[in-house]
Amino acid sequence: MKKRILLTLLGLLLVAGILAGIKGLQIFTMVGKGKSFTPPPETVTTTTARPESWEITLRAVGSLEAAQGVTVSAELPGKVARLAFTPGTWIEAGSLLLQQDTSSEEAQLQAAEAEAALARVNFERLRMLVETNAVSKAAYDDGEAKHKQAMAQADTIRATIAKKTVRAPFSGRLGIRLVNLGQILKEGDPIVSLQAMDPIFINFMLPQQDMARIQPGLPVRITSDALPGRTVAGKITAINPQADSATRNVRVQATAANKEERLHPGGTAAPRHVCHGGRGAARQEPGAGHPRNRGASCALRRFSLRGRRTEKRKNRRLRPGGAPAVCPPRGKARRFRRRCLGP
């Protein structure tokens, strides 16, 4: 019994020794190959640095405004005697819109013109008599004053009649009629809306940090729900010199053609201004991998071909109501930059 157990143990030890020898031989072979292994050369791709153009799109939501728009109103009280326009039609400047009752003014005008004619005759007679010293100079001056007074009275009545004859102040599209024939109008009562919609203005707001990227004359792309799937080209025509002190935004106005009159004043539009960054290259500053600036994020700055930074601000870009950033003194710039970017 003991002999069998001893033989079994010897067999197991022999098998274990053989397996250990085989495994050790394999490990020795692998180590030898690792020492003699030479890694293949890495593939490196290179390209020539060259300046390229880029663009930055500024998006906003604005409102549409007519180039000229007004609600034509009654300047004097009176009764509507004639309506000379059709709602929704195009009308030229100076065309008759509405005529109020001027029968009493026309009667007064006839009397005033008769008095003016009599005063002119008397004045001409006095002028001939004063040349022969038949009348005094005072009588001549009194006749001249009465003539001018009569002419002024007639002109006043003509002006009243003209104010009761309402005409279009400019060419444009008429809206819905707000008065009826025979209606008694008060001073300031609305008659009809008149809008000149070609071209049309687009007013929108931009934050003050974008003011350095825009200037009058730059292109704008405009989209609106009134023109689904279409883009209208326009350009910036005016920039408000003052920023809103509450929102720090600046009002910008763009102008676009609207020959089809599909864009209506009071509607909304989404202008997109494309800021062309110009021709330049990008340079990487010391970032997280740089020993002098560990833990900081990597920053990219754009430089023009002359080496100047394209985002340099000028004093004329500062606007009333904006919020300027305080820059550190020149001697403390490095310490300030390290505090902002990281330890």
Query: Do residues 181 and 74 both lie within one domain?
Result: yes
- Cis peptide bond N-terminal to 328, omega within 30: no
Q: Does some domain include residue 49? A: no
Q: Does some domain include residue 311? A: yes
pTM of the model: 0.60
Q: Any residues with CB less than 8 A from the CB of 2 and at least 6 apart, and which? A: none
Q: How is residue 266 written in tokens?
A: 């009071």
Q: Does some domain include residue 320? A: yes
Q: Does some domain include residue 168? A: yes
Mark which of 137, 158, 185 sits at the end of a domain: 185
Mark which of 185, 214, 246 sits at the end of a domain: 185
pLDDT digits (tens, 9 = 90+) for 132-142: 888 888 888 88
Residue with tokens 């010391």: 286
Higher-confidence residue of 99 and 334: namely 99
pLDDT at 287 over 50: no
Higher-confidence residue of 181 and 312: namely 181
Q: How is residue 299 written in tokens?
A: 């920053």
Q: What is the mean pLDDT of residues 292-310?
A: 36
Q: Does some domain include residue 248? A: no
Q: Identify the CATH number of the domain in which residue 159 sits.
A: 1.10.287.470
**3-state SS assignment for residue 87:** coil
Q: What is the mean pLDDT of residues 28-49?
A: 77
The band of 56, judged by pLDDT with boundaries at 50, 70 and 90, is confident
Integer CA distances (angstroms), 99 to 3, 121, 160, 331, in order:
140, 34, 12, 77
Domain count, the chain: 2
Query: SS3 sequence, 188-248?
Result: CCEEEEEEEEEEEEEEEEEEHHHHHHCCCCCEEEEEECCEEEEEEEEEEEEEEEEECCCCC
Q: 223-251: b or e for each residue (b if 16 or more CB lie within 10 Å)?
A: ebeeeeeeebebebbeebeebeeeeebbb
Q: Does some domain include residue 190? A: no
Q: Does some domain include residue 305? A: yes
Backbone angles phi, psi at 134, to 5 degrees: -85, -25
Domain enclosing residue 305, as ranges: 280-341
Mark which of 135, 155, 185 sits at the end of a domain: 185
The band of 145, judged by pLDDT with boundaries at 50, 70 and 90, is very high
Q: Any residues with CB less than 8 A from the CB of 155 and at least 6 apart, and which? A: none
pLDDT digits (tens, 9 = 90+) for 242-280: 888 888 899 999 999 988 888 889 888 888 766 654 444
Q: Does some domain include residue 317? A: yes
Residue 263: name the closest of 221, 238, 232, 229 by CA.
232
pLDDT at 116 over 70: yes
Residue with tokens 């009545």: 157
58-72, 79-93, 291-305: range with lowest mean pLDDT:
291-305
- Containing 278, the helix (H) or strand (E) segment is strand 268-284
